[in-house]
A = this chain, B = another copy of it.
Amino acid sequence: LPPLSWRKGKVTMSCKRSYLASINEDVKAHLKHAIPVREPLAVYEPMHYLTFAAPWNTAPALCVAACELVGGHRSLALPAASALHLMYAASYTHDNLPLQESCRPKSTIHHEYGPNIELLTGDSILPFGLEVLAKSDDPAQNISGRILRVVVEITRSVGSQGMIYGQYLEIESIQSNGCGSCHVEEIERVCEKYEGSLYACAATCGAIMGGGSEEEIEKMRRYGLYVGKIQGMTNRIKGNDKDLVKLVEEMRGLAIKELEGFDEAKVEAFSSFLR
């Protein structure tokens, strides 16, 4: 059978698209409001530029969707969703920094600013994301505990056991193989740690902010991990690698299983993350 989303015809598909699109619009609006271009311009302009120069991914949207899936109001998840894009933008900026004696293939992206400014800007985007999140605390809502839990989730997922570890593994595999010859298993390990950590964190944080049960939170964590691995692997392996196609198909199946027990009408939109 073709994936669920392909069997539904135009109406549902455009509905799903507009659900995702409406989330993305809200996250971008939240981000733009959070990073005004203000004094000192020398600092805020590159921050603004590099935040929006990083490719948009669906992790922030997954965070918001997970919050709504467990019954939370969208506004509860927007600061965490913005923080997730900022974490990714910081990582993307540093990933493309021209370093002396770098073992990595020379990046071909356009550099609007010099390396010093890009280094510092990456360094400022990360804490800024956590500031946006921590500042969203509202004593009247009694959600400080949830926000702190989300801070721990995010700092862990971007750190040494998550995205950073994925980047280490990638450098290691480039150094030992050159890049053409990586095995699917190696790429899977990198994606599990990099995109996997990011998306698992996104879904987890959404479920936490939405007030999900521990079981719901852990289901979302596993669902996000599959989504991240699928996204990472299909982005990294171009062409029709048979092992990859098979692995991704298996992961899609496992991901869909994690959605069992949730509200079916809401689950519908989640198939867009698995494409």
Contacts and interface: CB of A to CB of B under 8 A. Distances in A.
The listed residue with most B CB atoms (<10 A of its CB), out of A120, A135, A172, is A120
Given A94-B123, A98-B101, A145-B137, A155 B131 contact: yes
Interface residues of A, number: 55
A168 B120 contact: yes
A164 interface: yes
Identical subunits present? 2
Main secondary structure of the interface of A (DSSP, over half): helix
Interface string A133-164: 01101010000110111011011101111001
Contacts of A103: 114, 116
B155 A127 contact: yes
Contacts of A158: 123-124, 127
B130 A130 contact: yes
B134 A114 contact: no
A171 interface: yes
B159 A134 contact: no
A100 interface: yes
Interface stretch (A11-19, A37-45, A209-217): A37-45
A99 interface: yes
A134 B116 contact: no
Contacts of A120: 94, 164, 167-168, 171
Contacts of A123: 90-91, 94, 122, 126, 158, 164
A199 B114 CA distance: 29
A102 interface: yes
Interface of A: 40, 42-44, 47, 90-91, 94, 97-104, 114-117, 119-124, 126-128, 130-131, 134-135, 137, 139, 144-145, 147-149, 151-152, 154-156, 158-161, 164-165, 167-168, 171-172
Minimum-distance CB pairs A-B, first 8? A131-B155, A144-B144, A127-B155, A134-B151, A124-B164, A98-B100, A99-B115, A127-B159
